[in-house]
Homo-oligomer: A and B are copies of this chain.
Amino acid sequence: MKTDDSLDSPIAAICREKGMKLTGQRRTIAHVLSESDDHPDVEELYRRATAVDPRISIATVYRTVRLFEEQGILRRRDFGGGRARYETTDHGDHFHLIDVDSGTVMEFDDEELKALLAGIGARMGYEVATTRLELYGRRKKKKGR
């Protein structure tokens, strides 16, 4: 496998730091992930990766996203529809609002919300470890005047 330096990426650097073997396929998938700012599923990642290098099988994409998730590089999301979606963890902690008509996924964050959720958990005697929160809605019509 030729080594194409143009495929280097922040995620590839993390792989090296962690001592993970950096194969051509892994470098390409890391590159694709590094320049993605959305929430692709495995099929979509497969499409983007094979567009760069067709010598990648879907099995390897599945293996790689699992590996990257275990290594804390990727976060797995489930917005319904039966397929896992992925985003890099460096996007930070946030929630999602999904437009039910278009499927568009938007991100938001809110400190008051986080505090409220932690407080509810605490009141029930729990330390909240993970929150899964998605809002599904439709675009509001402009209010007439």
Cβ of A138 within 8 Å of any chain B Cβ, yes or no, is yes
Contact: B116 with A140, CB < 8 Å? no
How distant is the Cα of A31 from the Cα of B117 in the complex, in angstroms?
35
Residue of B nearest to A99 (CB): B126
* Partner pick for A140 among B78, B97, B108, B125, CB 8 A cutoff: B125
A93-145 contacts to B, CB under 8 A, are 97, 99-100, 106, 108, 110, 112-113, 116-117, 120-122, 124-140
- Residue contact B132 to A137, C-beta cutoff 8 Å: no
Evaluate contact between A135 and B131: CB separation under 8 angstroms: yes
Distance between Cα atoms of A110 and B112 in the complex (Å): 14
Contact across chains for B129 and A132 when beta carbons are under 8 A apart: no
A120-B132 in contact (CB<8A): no
Q: Which of B110, B126, B133 contacts A97 (CB 8 A)?
A: B126
- Residue among A99, A100, A120 facing the most chain B CB atoms (10 A cut-off): A120
When distances are taken between beta carbons in the complex, the residues of chain B under 8 Å from A97 are 120-121, 124, 126, 128
Q: A110-B120, A116-B116, A117-B113 are in contact. Are A136 and B140 (CB under 8 A)?
A: no
Residue in B100, B126, B131 whose beta carbon sits within 8 Å of that of A139 in the complex: B126
CB distance from A59 to the nearest CB of B (A): 20
Q: What 1/0 mask marks residues of chain A from 43 to 62 whose CB sits below 8 Å from any chain B CB? A: 00000000000000000000
Considering the complex of A and B, which 3 residue pairs feature the smallest CB-CB distances, nearest first?
Answer: A126-B137, A130-B136, A128-B137
